[in-house]
Structure 1
Amino acid sequence: MIETEPLVAAAGLVKHFPVRRGLFGRVSGLVRAVDGVDVRIAAGETLGVVGESGCGKSTLGRMVLRLIEPTAGSIVFDGQDIGTLGAGALRAQRRAMQIIFQDPYSSLNPRMTVGQTLAEPLRLHGLHRGREGERVTELLHTVGLAPEHALRYPHEFSGGQRQRIGIARALAVEPKLIVCDEAVSALDVSVQAQVVNLLQDLQRRFGLAYIFIAHDLAVVKHIATRVAVMYLGRIVETADKEALFANPRHPYTQALLAAIPRPEPSARRERPVLGGDVPSPLNPPPGCHFHTRCPHAQPVCSQTAPLLEGTGDGHFAACHFWREIQSHAATEQPIAFAPARRRLERLQSAFVASDPVPTP
């Protein structure tokens, strides 16, 4: 098979936010939000990025778009090093890179109608001149909304409809990559399924690539092609979706997967123990950042940071002892409590039952 150049190739991405204190704003520390991350995404692929809150997922996604300037590292998008682009050239390049935000209400201007919101990026990039109205109608139909919705304001829509408007706005400039930053986490379960199915349908139609950032592993399993697991600013494991869910190698990934509620009442599993709290990104532990909570930690873990290594099958893990502890991936967890179990059952059935582009 001939390998093609990836759509996105980011190497050594670092983002440190200075913490300033005192009257003169002196720098007293650095928040290490992203601490040396490599990302490669092919055209038409979905990279799911998962991890606990504060692990750097959103910062990584926004750095790829250069909405946040990296402290170090390079970002090549569609063969162009966007880190070297000036403001004008970057603005033109951003036509191919869009983002869908978590909160579908705060991301829309409440003083603009939906039609004005969708026409704005067309004017900014000089697209569809003289036929903006036709393009707005086309976009609304594409995301399952009616043409008359163009005359309404954001507060007149439900959360799911507002997120569809955000998706339509991202599609307006015909991008190649969309960063979905917790794009469904604020929605009800059944609406999540509808929006995820819509995103998949749009990907098939337009060849889009996604960076899908989420907490919900059930959603990531449904939409992602590959998954990257982040912990305290670093990627600790990455693999194809099937391989990662079936055979996780890093103990942190094993713990995340073991915490997923399971609908089968008879499925009893022993959850891997995670001791202690999440360390502060202001002062992350030396060596492997996860060693303070890892049930398999050895002295070398606190001294040397493990490399993200693979075995030639596209599965990579940053753990000194993943081979020795791999058998722990199959351990069982206790029955999930009833509300979580019911939520997972609704989510799984909704993915199957929902239409990719439901009628409004």
Structure 2
Amino acid sequence: ANIMAMNITYRTQNDHIDIYKAVADIYIRTPNLFAQQALKALIAHIGPYLPGSLIHYHDQQLTYIGKDSRQRHLLIALNEPQKTKWYSVKARLESNAKQRPSQDKRLLFSVWFNEHIVLPVEVVNFEKQQLLMLISQVKIQTEYSYGALAKLLNNHSATIELLREAVKPYNKEHLPGKDLRHCLSMVGLYNAPAIIQQVLFEQLVNHQAHPLMQHVQFRLQAIIRLLNLLVSHDKHNQFEHLALPVYGYVNYLIEYCSTTISRKTLYEKQLKSDVSMPFAWLFGVTIDDSEQLTAYLLELLGDNPWTHALLDAEQQQKQHLSAEAQLWVAIKLVV
């Protein structure tokens, strides 16, 4: 706590850092398991945006306050001395969480006593459970009607908004869908379940809290972009089918291997190995219980053949691998 306080406290030289970097710096340096779990819990409690942070939104300098009951971000404008403007937005924000001096009594006291602000931990836990439930309900090998998919996503406005962006590659103009029905019409009912699942997994990973979350997301996006390039001209394989097991795998690492995630990339000490290195090594993790990982992925994505191929690629001998499993081996080597 003392180290963090020294690192984040405002200094006129502006050489202090924000709390996210302060937590990450300590996290990667301490071997203490209790300290790592405490730091992870602290980041989960704070959330992705620190209350009081500066937000640049639509050419305005606003202050982040929290979330409301609709899961929308609450922002305030303090430009006018006698008036506080409130904004409720649903968007990805760019924030500056470094400490700064302020004498504004509204920011120091009054704005925090607002009935619309909800507790962040309760919101995140509820949203994660909702996403996991949806993921388990959407199956890529099941034929759905428009009505059935609309019913599943009813009251999940954030998922629908992300889905509107996710369908861009499925039209020549690269335009977002207008609404849920338009999105489903653009991609077709055959492709829709996998695209919906990918959007749900993206949300689930983004809801996870970890001191090294930025690094995890960078590495994850590198893998996803590589997959996209590999299948961009392949008419036989849908990109989302390959991406889904990777999202599920990374979510497992954050949930069950959080204290061993690091910026290191592990490597094979033997020049020749009968079994390919696991994806977990790309995140610095050694998995001791592969059965738990297998059960987790098969429960959520068992109807996806690429899930089985990914598991085979790091559990079966190389000479016995299918062409799909060999592709996973190649992807890990390239990354």
| Bigger helix fraction | 2
- TM-score under structure 1 length normalisation: 0.29
Q: RCO higher in 1 or 2 (8 Å CA, sep ≥ 6)? A: 1
| Bigger strand fraction | 1
- TM-score under structure 2 length normalisation: 0.31
